[in-house]
Amino acid sequence: MKYLIKGGTVVDPSGGIEEQFDILIFESKIEEVARNIIAKDAKIVDAGGMIVTPGFVDMHVHFREPGREDEETVLTGTRAAAKGGFSSVACMPNTDPALDNADTLVALKDIISRDALINVLPIGAITIGRFGKDLTDIKAMARQGIVAVSDDGSSVEDPELMLKALKSSKAADVVVIDHCEDVALSNKGVMNKGFMSTKMGLRGISDESEWRCIERDIELAAKAGARIHIAHVSCKESVEIIRKAKKKGIQVTAETAPHYFALTDECCATYDTNTKINPPLRTAEDVAAIKGALADGTIDVIASDHAPHTDCEKDVEFDLAPFGKIGLESSLGISVGELIEGKILTWPKLVEKFAMNPARILGLKSGTLKKGSPADITIIDPKKEYTLIKETLESKSKNSPFIGWRLTGKAVGLFVAGKPVMLDGKIL
C-alpha cells in the first residue's frame, strides 16, 4: 500500500527540513520526501495548511495494565495517545505485578499485540517489585525488547544499588530513566513547599528532594559511564545541575512535562486533586527556568507522565488523593500555547522534543522522516482551536487540570508503520 501525504509543511529536524514537501509512504517505510511527488498508485492524504512531522514519541506514560484496568488499559491508553498525535509511547513498569521480569513482559507484549493502536514500548523495572532492594535481570528483559529501565514512581534510595543498576544497564545497552526523589526530604508532602503550601496548610515537598537526588545519580552515572535520563524535571535547581553536567560531557538527558511549564503551585489553591502531582507543581520562577532549559536544549524531551486515576480515587481530600494527571491528549495543545505562541521554541525545536530526541534516547529507528525510516508520521493542524472536554477524552480516566482549557494546535492525522491510525481527527 502506498500513501502520499501532500502539501503539508514538513518539519523534520533530523534532516534540517522545514518546507512544503510531499511524503510518499511505501508499505511500512518512508519512500521519499520531496517537492511535488507524483505517485499514481498512491492514496492521497491532503495535508494543505498542516504541519507534518516524524511520529511523536511519549517516553513516559502509565497504562496500568496489568492490574489497574479500571484506570487505563493498553487499548484506551493507545487511543488517547493516537488522539494526541503519538505513534510510540514507552510505558512505565509500575503495574501490578510490576514489569520486573521477562515472563511478565511476554504477557504484556501479548496484550500489546492484541490491543495497541500504536507502538507500545515497555520499560522494565530496575528493582524487583520496585521495592528498591534487589536488581532485576536487565539483560533478560532487554532480550524481550525493553527500551529502558526505571523504578518510576519511586526512587532507588540505595546509592550502591543505583550504581549497580547503571552498570548493568550499560552492559545491556538500555538507558536508565530516573525518578529522582529523596523521600526523607519529601517529608510526606503533597504539594510544593512554599508560600502556597503554608497558606493552604498542606505538607510541602521541597525542591531539594528532587535536585539532591539528581545530583547524586548524575555522579553515579558518570562513574559507571552509563547513560541516564532524568524524568519529570520540575524545578530551577535541577535544571542548573543538568546544564552543568551536560557541559562536563556526562551522558545525561532530561525530560519535563507540560504541567511543569504551564502551571504553578497557585493552581492548587482550590484543593483540586488533579493538581496533586509528583514532583509537585512549582513556582513561576521554576516555570521560567524550565522554559529556559527547553530553549537552550538542557531539557531534551517533553513527555506527558500520563498518570490515569479514576474519579473515585481523585474525588477525596487533597491529602488522601493519589499523585498524577493524564496528559496524552493535552501535551501538544499546551506546548503549542506555551512554547510556540510564547516564542520559547520554533516548530523544529518542538519536534525535536516530541519526536527526534525521545526516539534517539530510547534507541528507536523512528523520530525522523529520512528515506527508509519507519513511516511513523504525525499530521498537525497548528491553527485548530478547541476546548479540552472530559466527555471527548479517549483516556479511561479524566484526571486533568487542563479540562476546560482553550487550546490551539491539534494532531489530526497519524501513521504508524505506514498504516493510517487517525485521519481528519478521527481514529480509524
Partner 1 sequence: MPSVTGKITWTKKDLLGLEYLSKEEIELILYTAESFKEVTTRRIKKVPALRGKTVVNLFYEPSTRPRTSFELAAKRLSADVVNIEIEASSVKKGETLIDTGRNIEALKIDIIVVRHNCSGAPNILARSVKSSVVNAGDGWHEHPTQALLDMFTLKSKLGRLEGLNVSIIGDIAHSRVARSNIWGLTKLGAKVTVCAPKMLIPEGIEKMGVKVTSDINEALSGADAINVLRMQFERDTDGAFPTRMEYFKQYGITKERLAGCKPDIVVMHPGPINRGIEMSSDVADGKNSVILEQVTNGIAVRMAVLYLVGLVKEGAR
Give every CB contact of residue 359 below 8 A, 6+ residues apart in sequence: 54, 57, 88, 365, 366, 367, 368
- 315 or 341: whose CB is closer to partner 1? 315
- 77 or 204: whose CB is closer to partner 1? 204
Does residue 1 bind partner 1 (CB under 8 A)? no
Does residue 205 bind partner 1 (CB under 8 A)? no
**Least distance in Å: CB of 155 to partner 1?**
22
- 206 or 366: whose CB is closer to partner 1? 206
The pair phi, psi for residue 330, each rounded to 5°, is -120, -10
The pair phi, psi for residue 166, each rounded to 5°, is -65, -40
Question: Which residues, numbered 252-271, are part of the site for partner 1 (CB under 8 A)?
Answer: 270-271
Provide the terminal-to-terminal Cα distance of the chain, rounded to the nearest Å: 16
- 18 or 266: whose CB is closer to partner 1? 266
For residue 275, the 8-state DSSP code is G
Out of 49, 195, 296, 365, which residue is the one contacting partner 1 (CB under 8 A)? 195
Out of 202, 213, 226, 290, which residue is the one contacting partner 1 (CB under 8 A)? 202
Count of residues that bind partner 1 according to CB under 8 A: 20
**Least distance in Å: CB of 194 to partner 1?**
5
- 168 or 278: whose CB is closer to partner 1? 278
Question: Which residues, numbered 76-135, are part of the site for partner 1 (CB under 8 A)?
Answer: none
**Contacts for 181-188 with beta carbons within 8 Å, 24 or more apart?**
181/154, 181/155, 181/209, 181/210, 181/213, 181/278, 181/279, 182/155, 182/157, 182/208, 182/209, 182/210, 182/212, 182/213, 183/155, 183/157, 183/209, 184/209, 185/209, 185/212
**Least distance in Å: CB of 330 to partner 1?**
23
Helix (H/G/I), strand (E/B), else coil: 306? strand
**Least distance in Å: CB of 322 to partner 1?**
14
C-alpha cell at 66: 496489568
Considering 58, 182, 300, 305, which one is annotated as catalytic? Answer: 305
C-alpha cell at 73: 488499559
Rounded Cα distance, 70 and 58, in Å: 22
Out of 143, 199, 371, 406, which residue is the one contacting partner 1 (CB under 8 A)? 199
**Least distance in Å: CB of 208 to partner 1?**
12
Does the active-site annotation cover 305? Answer: yes
Question: Which residues, numbered 270-329, are part of the site for partner 1 (CB under 8 A)?
Answer: 270-271, 312, 315-320
Out of 113, 198, 387, 392, which residue is the one contacting partner 1 (CB under 8 A)? 198
**Least distance in Å: CB of 269 to partner 1?**
9
* Spatial contact of 336 and 1, defined as CB atoms under 8 Å apart: no
Number of residues written out for the chain: 428
Out of 84, 85, 204, 413, which residue is the one contacting partner 1 (CB under 8 A)? 204
* Spatial contact of 290 and 262, defined as CB atoms under 8 Å apart: no
For residue 337, the 8-state DSSP code is I
Does residue 197 bind partner 1 (CB under 8 A)? yes
- 77 or 280: whose CB is closer to partner 1? 280
C-alpha cell at 363: 534507541
**In the complex, which residues of this chain contact partner 1 (CB under 8 A)?**
193-202, 204, 270-271, 312, 315-320
Catalytic residue positions, numbered: 305
